[in-house]
Structure 1
Amino acid sequence: MSVRAFLDAWRVALRIMGRIVRSYMEFRVEFALTVAIGAIWQMSVIVFATVLLGRFSGMGGWSTDAVLLLVGLRMLAHALYVLFFGRISGLTDIVQEGLMEAYLLRPMPVYRQVQLTYFPNNAIGDLIVGISLSFAAISRTQVHWTAPRIAFLVAAVTGGVFVEAAIFTALSSAALHYPAASYWSSWVEELMGTFGSYPLKILPGIVSGLFTFLVPLAFVAYLPTAVLTGNTHGLGVPVALAVASPLIGVLAFLLSRRLWNWSLSHYTGVNG
């Protein structure tokens, strides 16, 4: 695909999403409430972390400020994932309602169509809280924010977005063939929401290993935050691997898309 064709395709996608957002703005109170609900939900995580850290000086050898930075980066990466890729989790409903066949007939790539099914209003609330907490945590840490560290911070958040997108894209590949895959996605999402905001070294070694190599939650925020704050002792992986977290996120997403495309090519309909 040429650069011009690529830009034209995404221009169309942005116009579609713009029309969806304008249609939502016809019901501004509902739109605002959905945004507020997203913010309130994420605020509950902050309250829990604040209360927990208020009773202890740190967690797993990490200082309070380092843990807050971990929470902030995790929430920011998650909010951006929901904003740009989150609709992929609803693929099971599209398949079960018999809508996939219509998606296959349109000239736009199916994956992109799925991302254009609706606009996730709640992601705006998530994003506001994630940005606010991240900046607050950054201002509190004792890290000297040089240009390379800032660049790594931006790359880490981007990589975290791609890691989460890779996980749920891979799970949605199964949803094209197995309706029960929606339960897998819900279960993984619950696990990530529960454990993603805390240093994984506080968990038993086998559990920490599973969250590093099976469900690569560690690469979303834990390993990048360890690099940024210097808490690289006892990570369970080489420091070089932690430093490479952003790149691993991108590679994981590309592999998940290949899996998704292969799974889509073998799609045989809602009744199998």
Structure 2
Amino acid sequence: MRHNAAVYVRLIAAQFRSITEYPADFWTMVSVALIQQAAQIAFIAVIFAQITTLDGWGFPEMLLLIGFMVLTDAVTEVGWDGIWTVGRKIVDGGLDYAVVRPAPVMMQIGASAIGMQSAANLTTGATMIAIGWSGAGIAPSLIPAAALLLLCAVTVQLTIITTMNCLNFWIKGPSPIFAWLTAQTQETATRFPLTIYPRAVRALLTWAVPLAFVNFIPVGILTGRLPQWWLAFPPAIALALVGVCALVARAGMKRYESAGH
């Protein structure tokens, strides 16, 4: 584990040095990300200028909901953005280089790129969480629980996206269509409380593809909408998804046949 962690840090550091060699490009991406998130916050503010709550969720709770999603997504993209290239590497044989190196294949691919367009979202997401936390009147004693929930949220996000990208071992195409559809569903659906959707949709996003554990469940626990015993579920789901992800990746690697897969 120590060796793998050291390799990961070196890979990410190398990617960061490469990107910051072009300062104008770097700051352009950061600026675009800030504008995008500002527009999202403005959109929510306009909605709540017309209504008081959305199915019982006020503006601070909505900021928490979006903040968890933005921060979790930003952590994943900054530290694991290379995973989106799995499909292309399967087809062109790029996995060959990772297979022969003394480090986990998926870790090498995940750390092969940094989504610097989301770097600014680390600050934006944390700011939204801080403002929402204060506005919702959440007790400081829940900070350790929030840290645990955030760690679980990042694990859930990372493992779901990795698993969906690994499905390209079976569809034999360079486009990460399943991962893209999952990301679009998350961006569209989970920015709002899942209680506004039909029961079937809630069940799908909670237990089948558990994107609810990225933001809806954590915020529900912190704001008291869900009882405290729900704190047992996010770690369990995160560990289960790590296992599923490892099994899917391992099964996919057994199918890999180099270039022309």
Q: Same fold (TM over 0.5)?
A: yes
Distance in 2, matches of 1:68 and 1:85, equals: 25
Amino acid at match of 2:169: L
Q: 1:165 aligns with which of 158, 169, 180?
A: 158
Q: Deviations over 1:75-115 (max 9, x none)?
A: 11111121222321221122233211222122222112102
Residue 236 of structure 2 corresponds to 247
Distance in 2, matches of 1:12 and 1:173, equals: 22
Q: Deviations over 1:160-179 (max 9, x none)?
A: 11111121121122112312
Distance 1:20 1:143, change over 3 A: closer
Distance in 1, matches of 2:40 and 2:235, equals: 24
Q: Deviations over 1:246-267 (max 9, x none)?
A: 4322331232122212221232
| Unpaired stretches in structure 1, ≥5 consecutive residues | 1-5, 233-237
* Offset of residue 242 of structure 1: 5.8
How high is the sequence identity, in percent, across the aligned residues?
Answer: 22
CA contact (8 A) 1:172 1:260 kept: no
What is the DSSP-based 3-state SS (H/G/I as helix, E as strand, rest coil) of the residue aligned with 1:192? Answer: helix
* Offset of residue 201 of structure 1: 0.3
Amino acid at match of 2:159: A
CA contact (8 A) 2:167 2:178 kept: no
Amino acid at match of 1:176: F
What is the DSSP-based 3-state SS (H/G/I as helix, E as strand, rest coil) of the residue aligned with 2:143? Answer: helix
Distance in 2, matches of 1:218 and 1:13, equals: 28
Q: Within 5 Å, which residues of 2 pair with 1:47-66?
A: 47-66=42-61
| Unpaired stretches in structure 2, ≥5 consecutive residues | none
CA contact (8 A) 2:84 2:176 kept: yes
Q: 1:124 aligns with which of 111, 119, 122?
A: 119
What is the DSSP-based 3-state SS (H/G/I as helix, E as strand, rest coil) of the residue aligned with 2:137? Answer: coil
Residue 235 of structure 1 corresponds to none
CA contact (8 A) 2:81 2:113 kept: no
Distance 1:187 1:199, change over 3 A: same
Residue 3 of structure 1 corresponds to none
* Offset of residue 155 of structure 1: 0.9
Q: Which aligned segments of 4 or more residues in structure 1 are displaced greater than 6 angstroms?
A: none
TM-score after normalising by structure 2: 0.91
TM-score after normalising by structure 1: 0.87
What is the DSSP-based 3-state SS (H/G/I as helix, E as strand, rest coil) of the residue aligned with 2:185? Answer: helix
Amino acid at match of 2:183: E
Q: 2:220 aligns with which of 187, 203, 226?
A: 226
Amino acid at match of 1:259: V
CA contact (8 A) 1:62 1:231 kept: no
Residue 144 of structure 2 corresponds to 151
Matched length:
260
Distance 1:243 1:59, change over 3 A: farther
